Amino acid sequence: MKISDIQTYVVGNPPPYRGGPYFVFLKLVTDNGIKGYGEVYGVPFGPHLVAAMIEDVAARHVIGSNPFEIERLWRIVYSSGFTQHPDLSLMGVLSGLEMACWDIVGKALEQPVYNLLGGRVHETLRSYTYLYPAPEDMPQSADEGVDATEKIDAMAIAEAFGDAEMAPKRAAHYRAQGFTAIKFDPVMPMSAFDPRQLSLAALDNAELVIRNLREAVGGECDLLVGTHGQMTTSSAIRLARRLEPFDPLWFEEPVPPENTVEMARVARHTSIPVASGERLATKYEFARLLQDQAAAILQPALGRVGGILEAKKIAGMAETHYAQMAPHLYCGPIEAAANIQLATCSPNFLIQESIETFGGFHAEILVKPLEWQDGRIIPPTDPGLGVELDEAVAADHPYEGPIFPEMVEEPI
């Protein structure tokens, strides 16, 4: 069996933009007609340029190769251009190609991918969602006087995160749906000039938000503080002391991910477990995170980290440090399906990020939607990734806007 063709899809995600304004998917086809799907996440270039990058790497290294030879393909692409370094752009491309190969392998063997990586450990997967604003609070179209591709999910979510009245109402909404955990960032926005020292007003508001959230959900729902590296080490420690009385499940990326020594210093100064990993790629960067004792909860994004097998290796390393896995998800349902395969076969799985209940466009873009019930994901039993891209829907939703997400370009 050989891979004979590739196709890419840059798909516009309609309002309310859950998971971002666009998704980058790809399809590999073998010479005997098996199709495998992948998704590329977080490459910091325009999505159509990313599609061209995928096609370039595929033409040089993937077309004509055996989809079963994933380790060999991984090393060749990782070393492409004499890199042998966790380059986020190349690793994003490799991640999508790698998960498409696993999809083909699973279909060829008529097995879900998790059965090829050790087998099912978890019958269902606990999930959490971001604390998204209500759809009526989101910008709906450029006709309203707002460029919907610029003022999208991120900024509306930022407003909801920091609103001490709106946030608990949305938390209660998700708790009623069955969620037992929600994530929010009480110190948004993110700036290109971070990390910063939070003001007393920002600290006071973050404390008020989490207090109101805890009162709204009581002991029925874990609170996940999903900060995005906005703070200096000292500021993160100050915030952590304010948050500790409300017993959050984790404190995510309290400082930027580039300095694991400083992240470890935060971890030593708080009882809240530190989580990190969405902006890291390969086992090499995660090894440093573990060696420095910077995080107890690892959050690889499978559309960026290097793919499914690379994430499984990271999960194995994490086991030796008693660290847990909570795969990151802020994109489309193909990466979600890959995350689910990893989570299902990983003993140290903790919780999986979902895009609400995987309804709306996340269901529409798939032939058969992901299954979510009572706060838990039901792993698919279909072969491969367990999902199929609805290519007609993908073709009907082209995207022509800017890249996402953008950082605030002024100091906060």
Last residue of a domain, one of 110, 132, 167: 110
How many domains are there within the chain? 2
Tell me: do 257 and 310 sit in the same domain.
yes
Q: Reply yes or no on whether the pLDDT at 248 is more than 70.
A: yes
CATH number, domain of 180, equals 3.20.20.120
pLDDT at 146: 38
Residue 397 lies in a domain: no
For residue 72, the tally of other CB atoms under 10 A from its CB is 11
Catalytic residue flag (residue 328): yes
Residue 411 lies in a domain: no
Residue 127 lies in a domain: yes
Residues 180-205: tens digit of each pLDDT: 999 999 999 999 999 999 999 999 99
Distances from the Cα of 150 to the Cα of 186, 193, 263, angstroms = 21, 19, 31
- Which of the residues 228, 269, 321, 362 is marked catalytic? 228
> What is the average pLDDT across 355-368?
98
Nearest to 95 by CA among 137, 41, 33: 41
Q: Reply yes or no on whether the pLDDT at 361 is more than 90.
A: yes
Tell me: do 157 and 272 sit in the same domain.
yes
Nearest to 131 by CA among 222, 64, 14: 222
The range of the structural domain enclosing residue 98 comes to 3-110
Q: How far apart are CA 392 and CA 129, in angstroms?
A: 28
Catalytic residue flag (residue 173): no
DSSP assigned state of 62 = I
> What is the average pLDDT across 265-283?
98
Q: Which residues pair with 40 in a beta bridge?
A: 24
Residue 34 lies in a domain: yes
Alpha-carbon torsion, ordered 283, 289, 293, 297, to 10 deg: -80
Q: How far apart are CA 136 and CA 150, in angstroms?
A: 17
Q: Which helix (H) or strand (E) is 170 found in, with range?
A: helix 166-177
The model's pTM is 0.95
Is residue 98 within 8 A of residue 347, CB to CB? The reply is no
Nearest to 385 by CA among 8, 69, 27, 112: 112
Tell me: do 167 and 251 sit in the same domain.
yes
Tokens of 197: 């020292």
- Which of the residues 269, 328, 362, 397 is marked catalytic? 328
Residue 402 lies in a domain: no
pLDDT at 153: 52
Strands (E) located in 14-114:
22-30, 35-40
